[in-house]
Structure 1
Amino acid sequence: AGFVDHVFAMCHMLGFRFAPRIKTFSKNKIYTFEKPLNQPHLEFMIGGTIHTKKIRENWDDLLRLTSSVRNGTVTASLILKKLAAYPRQNSLSVTLREIGRIERTLYTLEWLQSP
C-alpha cells in the first residue's frame, strides 16, 4: 500500500483525484488523526494514525517536489520510482505516504457511502 499512498498523495498535490477500483475491500485500511475511542466495530478497518508532525516538518520540501513536477523539471513517475527505491525512513517518502493515507482514507470513506 505504500506505493499506492504515494500515488494518492502525488495526484492530490498536483490537483487531481486518483480513483482506483477497489477490488478487495477487506484489505483497505483507514487512518485517523487520533486513535478512536470506543469504536470496536471499526477496529478491523483502522490502519493507524496520521503522523502530522512529519507532514509539517517536510511541507516545504514537498511543495518544491510538486513544483518540479508541475514545471516539467522531473516526471511524477521518476519521482515515485526514486522514492520507492529509498529506505522507508526517507523523510520525504514518509511525508508523501502520510498525505496519501489521508487521501486514500477519504476515497475509501466516500466509496463506502456510495459504491
Structure 2
Amino acid sequence: HFVEIIATNQREAASAIDGAIGHNTELELEEHFTDSNAYTDTAFAIFHLLGFKFQPRIRDIGSMQLFSIKPISEYKKLQNLLTRTVRTKDIQEYYEEIKQIVYSIQTGKTTAKVILNRLGSYARKNKVVQALNELGKIEKTIFLLEYAIDEDLRRRITRMLNRGELINDLARELFSGQHGKFMERDIEKQLQSASALNIIINAISLWNTVYLQKAYDHYVKEQPKIEKYMPYTSPIIWNHINLLGEYKIDLLSKPNKLRGLNTENYLD
C-alpha cells in the first residue's frame, strides 16, 4: 500500500500518480479515483499514457473549460462551451520527450513528484510541459463530457470516494494522539508514523474481510437475498474493535481456525 507525506499546501496529483504505480500489490489497476485536489491537466495526460482511467471528482465542474481538436466552428451546439482548439502540433513535436518522461515514472527511475516539481518550476517556458498540458486538455475534455452524460459514472465516482473517506475516518479514529497530527519535524519519522497507521488500517480491513466472507457463507444459503447487498458492504468498519489499550501479536503462534460468528443478531 502506498504511503507518502505531502505538505498541506501541495496538490495531490503527483502523489496520486506515484500511488497508482507504486502500490506494491498484485492488483492490476485500471481506474484511479481522486478528489479535486489531485486534478491537473498534466495528471490527465500522464494517467492516460500510463494506461489508467483517471476519474476525479472536480468541484465547480460546470465552470471547467472544454477544448476541441477540430475548429470550434464545426461544433455548432457546443461553441459556447469550447475555449479554444488544442495545439496538436505541439503534442506531435514533443511527443517523444513526453513518452520519455512517462516511461521514467513507469519504470521507477524517478517519481511523478520529482518530475512535476521540476517541470512546474519553469512550465511557462518549457515547450515539453506545454505539450504535455495540451495532451491533458484532450483527456480532460473527454472525461468532462462523459461525466456530464453518464449518470452511472458520476455515482460510481462518488461511491468510490466515499469509500476513501471511510478510510480517512478510520485513520482519524486510530490516530488519536496529538489530535491526529504528525508532530515530528523529521520526514522519516512522519513516514514511519504514517506507515504504522496504514498497517493497522490494513489489518482491520483484512480481519473484517475474512469474517464478512464467513458471515456471508453462513447466511447466504438460508437467505439468498443478502447477496444483493454485498456491493454496499465495506470492510472498513470498526465499531466492534477496541481501539484503546495494547495488542500483543505473536507471529509464531498463529490460530488454527477462525473465531465463531456471533449469530444472535440474525437478520430476517
Identity score, percent: 31
One-letter amino acid matched to 1:98 = E
Q: 2:119 aligns with which of 76, 83, 96?
A: 83
Letter aligned with residue 26 of structure 1:
G
**Larger relative contact order (CA 8 Å, sep ≥ 6):** 1
Task: Tell me how large the CA RMSD over aligned residues is.
Answer: 1.7
How far, CA to CA, are the matches of 1:19 and 1:25 in structure 2?
13
Q: Is the contact between residue 31 and residue 49 of structure 1 (CA under 8 Å) also seen in structure 2?
A: yes
| Structure 1: gaps of 5 or more residues | none
Structure 1 residues 68 and 51, CA, compared in 2 at 3 Å: closer, same or farther?
Answer: same
- Structure in which a larger fraction of residues adopt helix: 1
Q: CA deviation at 1:84?
A: 1.4
**Letter aligned with residue 75 of structure 1:** T
**Aligned equivalents of 1:67 and 1:37: distance in 2?**
37
Q: CA deviation at 1:48?
A: 1.0
Q: State the structure with more CA Rg.
A: 2
- How big is each residue's C-alpha offset from its partner over 1:11-49, in whole Å with a ceiling of 9 and x where there is no partner? 111111221113212321111012222756533321211
**Runs of 4 or more consecutive aligned structure 1 residues displaced over 3 Å after TM superposition:** 38-41
Residue in structure 2 matched with residue 15 of structure 1 by the alignment: 51
Q: Which moved more, 1:14-23 or 1:101-110?
A: 14-23
Q: TM-score, normalised by structure 1?
A: 0.87
Distance 1:38 1:72, change over 3 A: closer
Q: Which ranges in structure 2 are unaligned for 5 or more consecutive residues?
A: 1-38, 152-268
Report the counterpart of residue 111 of structure 1 in structure 2.
147
Structure 2 counterpart of 1:68: 104
